[in-house]
Structure 1
Amino acid sequence: MKKIFYYFFFCLTLSNLLIAKEKADIIVAKDGSGNFNSIQSAIESIKENNQEHKIIYVKNGLYNEKLFIHNSNISIVGENRDSTIIRFAELRSNWIEKNSDSFGSATINIDSNTYNITFANLTIHNNYGSIHGENGHQFAILGLGTKVYLLDCNVIADGGDTVSLWDQEDGMYYHNNCYFEGWVDYVCPRGWCYITDSKFYGHNLTASLWHKGIGDKDQKFVIRYSYFDGIPGFPLGRHHSDAQFYLLDCIFSENMADVPIFWPVSKNAQIWEWGQRHYYYNNHRLGGDYKWFEDNLEDAEGNPEPSEITAAWTFSGMWNPEKEMPSVLPYVYLPKPRNGSYDITLETILNWIPSRNAESFNIYFWKSKFPQALENGEKLKDGPSAVGEPIFIKNQTEKYFNPETLEKNSTYYWRIDEIVDGAAVEGPLWHFTTKE
């Protein structure tokens, strides 16, 4: 597996985080400094039919464990995305030879009838292929429950079906700022799935994405603001039965093949009763675009505008994952308006997801010193100084801020510094531009 360097879009003060009063319910540490030294032991310590959200904080280390989750409302959060690693080698076919079904054949196994499961700020890796040279199906995650979050994670398998969230009837999944890597069909949800701001890397010449949406005609797989790469000639995707794909604001590397999402020739393939439903908007390929991913949202049912296609829209009112997202990460997250966004209404209210240890927030908000809004992709004309100086507004405990008076066609910057254990932790710099 190639070494991955994945950089956050912000800086955080590690020393402040380390001394912060930890609000996680359970701490796992290999060195014995936590409540448990294995993640599975921590999971099993939570009572059956759990109704309260429980955070399991996992300190840095390599955890050679296969995890089974039979309970709901659990978040497993690493200390560091690249240094907190859950790794277990398992080939699906080997497991099935000795067991009745696939459940248990993954590094992470999420049982049916579970919901509100979160993995954040860590790496999950099924490394069977690295050890044995076999790249057959080997799940990093096999999930049969619903409302599954992956936040700031690396999810890797040395074979196919890396992320297999397979609640075919009710499955709803949300992934943000993740890295996915694998072989055939390595991101393959069943049901509803929304992925944003993520990176994909495929090692095979069959397909990267796969979807199954036969439980409801509305089921869909939506990907926004993401980057796809792989070996030369990697294809984008396929599906054996009815499915629905939306890809918006994505970048494809020059290695992507000129092959549309396709119906495979297979004994398992079924006729697409609802037709070909592959929708695109504002996608581009390095080295030149292909005609098959031209904008065609007008062909989708309901003719949605790009601005309508959000996480909440994806799940058709059944789940609003960004509104319900638990505060589990060690840093402020998910700015609204989106960082770098344009055409923002003058009545906008700023929102964010706090870190799990935040006590209050120092609000910084100011207008760019450059009088005109910048064109999309244009560099600041006056260099970094065009940003202007941060203006402290106030300290507050609410996780929203109303700037009240905004000007048309103007760029605004903002920052949320969290107070954690009495000390300020500087947040990332965000900006947006208002409507003309």
Structure 2
Amino acid sequence: MRSSSLGLAAFFLSAQLAAFLLAAAPAGPAPLPIAPDIVVAADGSAGFRSIQAALESLPKDNRERRVILVRNGVYHEKVRIDAPFVTLRGESRQGARIEYAQAADAFHKQHDSVGLAVVNITAPAHDFVLENLTVKNTHGVIGPHAFAVFGLADKTVIVDCDVLSQGADTLALWRGRNQNAGATAGTPGLEAGGRSYQARLNICGSVDFVCPRGWSYLADSTITQVNPNATAAIWHDGSKDPDMKFVLRGCRFDGPPEWILSRHHRDAQYFLVDCTFSERMRDRKPYRVIYPLDGGTPSEADLARNRELDPVNRWGERVYYFNCHRDGGDYTWHADNLAAAPGAPAPREITPRWTFAGTWDPERTDQPAVCMIQPIAGGFRLRFTESVTVKGRPRLELQHGAKADYVSGSGSSALQFAINDSSAPVQLDFTEGVILATEATATLRLASPSLPRADASCVAKTDRRRRER
């Protein structure tokens, strides 16, 4: 790469990008409604100094929502998430930082047990939540692959984070990739491709640096390209199901002069809603990659690569816009065209639930609720509308003031409470503990203390949720 290009990119990254990210940084998330299960502090003031050590303390067959709080500090380490239902949350977005220099080519030459990114989400680690911290690959070379987050799990949530690299594939959630089929086979979730939800992120990188496979929803985020020679900022692989899509809503794009929006090697489907682009954007609409990349005369090897990709490019260019604008004037291909999309969705219909075809709603705010009460020997069994996790000592209040103690069931949809009293239950008592949803969502959802009628049944609600999945 020419030295002038490197100088331009370095200047852009250090000055314009820094100011842009700082100005765009939103307020942090709501305070945790519960105490964390594990605290990590680099200064040794908590149970763990290392994030990886904290993660390794969790059983790989974990069934409960486990919250790890990372105190402010710079953690010079790569981390690997193996257990499902983990929340990794920073004390503050700028203060809690996971930083590591990892070039992808160096990893491929000499593998380690952690992974090729700074944060590595393995296939069994479904329902993972990453929030309120910074993940930075400090490899520091503009252009080559340098992953910040790499994931093979289903139902991944990343919110209120800075995800940074100067290389390619900064944020790569790749469940469904053929090369990783051995790792994902038999793990919970959709096999063809993962589901991911991201909101309020700052992301920067070089080429294809936001590159999900499967179904992905990204909202209210800044996406900044740092490579003046890059061929695209965003990328998608939706080739295994015509419903796969990458939705970007309320996102702001920027980059060096003549930055390019998007490309794809395999079938892709983009929905861009309420997005804005800097004036420096090149007038080049999203495109399929055809070799050679410079548009010259193809070699036999180029022709072979193109033929290899032809079978996974069956559905044509599928890029849909609504209310997207470029500073200094729109290009013709920015025109609203949702009417041409499958089902012609209205803008208000393009939600996370719609993105995932009703199988998952990471923005749901409803409370897990008791849907059936079963008297059993020595107490009661409460069945909930979904899997729940118990924290502390919630109790079940009965008529006349007696209270049953929680006994077992956390990580399932049925909790057992013990008491030698047949009085009717009145409500759940959260004075000394809480119950919350186990599933990954954008915010923790606490259960309702209310109870249903004695003759209530969970059958209808359970059947509905099974159909949605």
Once residues 104 and 31 of structure 1 are traced to their aligned partners in structure 2, the CA distance between those partners, rounded to angstroms, is 25
Q: Is 2:262 aligned against 1:237?
A: yes
TM-score in terms of structure 1 length: 0.70
Once residues 367 and 352 of structure 2 are traced to their aligned partners in structure 1, the CA distance between those partners, rounded to angstroms, is 15
Q: Compute the displacement of 1:219 (Å).
A: 0.4
Structure 1: which 4+ aligned runs deviate by more than 4 Å?
A: 6-13, 324-327
1:94 is paired with a residue whose SS is: helix
Structure 2 residue runs of 5 or longer lacking an equivalent are: 1-12, 177-191, 292-301, 369-390, 392-430, 432-469
Could you tell me which of 297, 305, 310 is aligned with 2:346?
Answer: 305
Q: Compute the displacement of 1:186 (Å).
A: 0.4
Q: Compute the displacement of 1:12 (Å).
A: 9.4
Once residues 324 and 171 of structure 1 are traced to their aligned partners in structure 2, the CA distance between those partners, rounded to angstroms, is 22
Once residues 28 and 359 of structure 2 are traced to their aligned partners in structure 1, the CA distance between those partners, rounded to angstroms, is 35
Q: Is the 8 A contact 1:80 1:121 kept in 2?
A: yes
Once residues 367 and 255 of structure 2 are traced to their aligned partners in structure 1, the CA distance between those partners, rounded to angstroms, is 33
Q: Is the 8 A contact 2:79 2:120 kept in 1?
A: yes
Once residues 305 and 12 of structure 1 are traced to their aligned partners in structure 2, the CA distance between those partners, rounded to angstroms, is 29
Question: For 1:57-95, what per-residue CA distance to the aligned partner results, in whole angstroms no more than 9, with x for missing partners?
Answer: 000000001111111100100011011100111111111
The percentage of counterpart residues that share the same residue type is: 40
CA distance 1:310–1:48, change in 2 (3 Å) = same
Which of the pair has more CA radius of gyration? Answer: 2
Could you tell me which of 68, 73, 85 is aligned with 1:73?
Answer: 85
User: What's 2:132 paired with?
Assistant: 121
Q: Is 2:62 aligned against 1:50?
A: yes
1:313 is paired with a residue whose SS is: helix
Could you tell me which of 169, 186, 194 is aligned with 2:217?
Answer: 194
CA distance 1:84–1:325, change in 2 (3 Å) = farther
CA distance 1:73–1:326, change in 2 (3 Å) = farther
Q: Compute the displacement of 1:97 (Å).
A: 1.6
User: What's 2:184 paired with?
Assistant: none
Once residues 236 and 83 of structure 2 are traced to their aligned partners in structure 1, the CA distance between those partners, rounded to angstroms, is 26
Once residues 55 and 37 of structure 1 are traced to their aligned partners in structure 2, the CA distance between those partners, rounded to angstroms, is 16
Residue identity opposite 2:172 in structure 1: S
Structure with more helix by fraction: 2
CA distance 1:78–1:33, change in 2 (3 Å) = same
Q: Is the 8 A contact 1:312 1:319 kept in 2?
A: yes
Question: For 1:129-174, what per-residue CA distance to the aligned partner results, in whole angstroms no more than 9, with x for missing partners?
Answer: 2xxx453001001101111111100000120000010002130000
Between 1:247-256 and 1:259-268, the stretch displaced more is 259-268
User: What's 1:276 paired with?
Assistant: 317
Residue identity opposite 2:264 in structure 1: H
Q: Compute the displacement of 1:325 (Å).
A: 9.8
Once residues 43 and 229 of structure 1 are traced to their aligned partners in structure 2, the CA distance between those partners, rounded to angstroms, is 35
Question: For 1:292-346, what per-residue CA distance to the aligned partner results, in whole angstroms no more than 9, with x for missing partners?
Answer: 111011111111111110010000011111117999xxxxxxxxxxxxxxxxxxx
Residue identity opposite 1:142 in structure 2: F
1:180 is paired with a residue whose SS is: strand
RMSD: 2.9
Structure 1 residue runs of 5 or longer lacking an equivalent are: 328-355, 357-396, 398-436
Q: Compute the displacement of 1:114 (Å).
A: 2.2
Once residues 160 and 9 of structure 1 are traced to their aligned partners in structure 2, the CA distance between those partners, rounded to angstroms, is 25
2:69 is paired with a residue whose SS is: strand
Once residues 202 and 326 of structure 1 are traced to their aligned partners in structure 2, the CA distance between those partners, rounded to angstroms, is 39
Q: Is the 8 A contact 1:103 1:142 kept in 2?
A: no
Could you tell me which of 312, 316, 331 is aligned with 2:357?
Answer: 316
Q: Is 2:16 aligned against 1:5?
A: no
